[in-house]
Amino acid sequence: MATLNFNAGNNFIIPTENDMTYRGLGGDDVYIISKAIQSNIKIQIIDTEGSNTIQLIDDLIITNSLFTKNATRLTLENGSEITINGADKFTYETAGNSTTADIGKKWTYSEFVKGMGVTEGPPESGSKNGNKDFVINDSFTAPLDSVEVASDYTIVNIDVSSNTTIKATSLPEDFRYEVGVDGISKEGAYDVTIEDFSKANDKLTLILVGGSVNLSTKEFDAIENVDIISNGISGTEIYFAPDSNKDSATLKIPNVEELITDGWVATTYSVEIIADINLI
């Protein structure tokens, strides 16, 4: 494989040549992986100096990806392979394009690997494959690190008759809230707030009264007229379906924020939606 060396400046490099190793040398270089790459060619990137970026343009399709602790091979839809050595030293910018001043999202190698489907991150040994036929776009995201949760909980059965704030203690607690399979709260149309909920130690359990099977968080979110929002201002808020009087209950957990893009998925705290017949 021939080698193309650049200078010590901050270079914008668009790899396109077959059987070529691109070396940015000194400077902070940006390697733009684009659809300009021809079909069925092999490209290698090596750059150990400076703060360097692998920029993957919007709508780029990666049919296969292979990750090791410090290297990656990306296969594009046209059969071309891009191998990045010292991959853990690069920043990865998804849906960015310096040639059009399009700014994407930047990720560490570990975050990029997780976003590509290897949820545990780069393997310590051997290799792992990412998701097939992955499309790079603005919705690219990396799952947050999961945390160890306590195995033994003090059960807190939520039973209210008015708007109520429940304060979590320092002990691991399982907050249990009853809801019908239709998404209507069995606790009444009240606002319930759980303060000081610990993502590391506490658990939220929604009990499906009259349910026959457990649900995932996404399946619960999909129940008609149930809405879950989560952001850095409000934390996580569950809006249950309206009852026969058109009133609805809410369950709020301040300071518990999760990115919701395609349904509710809790990755940094423990949540279960359990049919009451399966409740232990």
Question: Chunked in runs of 10, what are the mean pLDDT values of the chain (280 residues)?
Answer: 92 96 94 96 95 96 96 98 96 95 92 93 94 94 60 90 96 96 96 95 95 92 94 91 96 88 84 88
pLDDT of the residue at 1? 83
- CA 34 to CA 45: how far, in whole Å? 14
CB–CB of 130/116 below 8 Å?
yes
Report in angstroms the alpha-carbon separations of 154 from 19, 124, 166, 249, 254: 62, 36, 14, 24, 20
Helix (H, G, I), strand (E, B) or coil at 277: helix
Q: pTM higher than 0.85 for the full model?
A: no
Among 183, 131, 133, 185, residue whose Cα is nearest residue 158? 185
User: For the chain, what are the domain ranges?
Assistant: 2-135, 154-278
pLDDT of the residue at 151? 55
